[in-house]
Amino acid sequence: MGELTPLAGLMLALLGLAGGIGITAIGPGGVLPTVGLVALTTLTPAQVAGTAIATHVATGAVGTAAYVRSGELRAPQARTTARLLAGTALIGTVGGIIVNSLLAPHVFSMLLGALVAAVAALVLVRGRRRRARGHPSRTVVVVIGLLVAVTAGIVGIGGPMLTVPLLVAAGCEVLEALAAAQAQSVVIATVGTVGYLVQGSIDWFLAVLIGIPELAGVLIGWRVARSLPTRTLRGAMVVALFALAPYLALH
């Protein structure tokens, strides 16, 4: 990792907090710890992904519990969606870890930059949708689950960052998508953590530094999603992601 300055440590903690809020409030947010690890440390791509994904085990569990408590994950349709996403995560995450091991550092950065820009566009489009129409089929949910799990395994995100915009674009209600994505993220993060742990690619000090404030952010984001308008937060996330994408791609 190299020496971490106090300022860099503070920035990583703040990115963890912001990421946690984004995870449960609007979905995208889990990429922020990955962004911080790329920009503020000298970790390899595998170490970035492994450290970031390890932080999402606890955040996914807390997010899932929160949405069970508030009722969104008790609805039959949401439970079905969550089960399908979790099942595909078992396969897709392993594939993503394998792909990560084959990537050169500059390719990893370019992929992450492209991913951040794509998610920003998805959030922007999602924000302009006035209402969901219908509901995605199980086949569509499975395809989304596999796509997200593979991507999560490669770059170390928990799942909601991509799953929520994709599900909403496919017709899911926002709260259902947020709830189901939390359950998926538990599987992605657990499988990913085990995979990267075997490789010795997790920096546990940084995982804790980011993960504790990220947990606090998850609870804050859950309350935001259920009680406050998210337009301002969503707009800020879009601006931040679009601004970060070129930097990451060229890092």
Q: What is the secondary structure of 62-112 as a DSSP string?
A: HHHHHHHHTTGGGSHHHHHHHHHHHHHHHHHHHHHHHHHHT--HHHHHHHH
Positions in the chain whose pLDDT score sits under 50: 132
Burial environment of residue 107 by CB neighbours within 10 A (0 to 12, 13 to 18, 19 or more): exposed
As a whole number of angstroms, the distance between CA 238 and CA 70 comes to 27
User: Quick one: pLDDT at residue 50?
Assistant: 92
pLDDT at 198: 93
Cβ atoms < 10 Å from Cβ of 79: 17
Contact 158, 23 (CB under 8 A): yes
Can you give the pLDDT at residue 224? 86
What is the per-residue pLDDT for 173?
A: 82
pLDDT at position 131, please?
A: 52
Backbone angles phi, psi at 27, to 5 degrees: 105, -70
Amino acid at 148: V
Strand, helix or coil for residue 29: coil
Sorted by sequence, the CB contacts under 8 Å of residue 129 that are 6+ apart come out as 168, 169
- Side-chain half-sphere of 182: how many Cα atoms within 13 Å? 33
pLDDT (0 to 100) of residue 117: 86
Please tell me the predicted confidence (pLDDT) of residue 127.
Answer: 66
pLDDT for 188 equals 94
Supply the pLDDT for residue 37.
Answer: 92
Q: What is the pLDDT of residue 129?
A: 59
Residues 6+ apart with CB under 8 A from 49: 34, 97, 100, 153, 154, 155, 156, 192, 196, 201
* Residue spans per domain, the chain: 6-250
Distance CA 172, CA 159 (A): 16
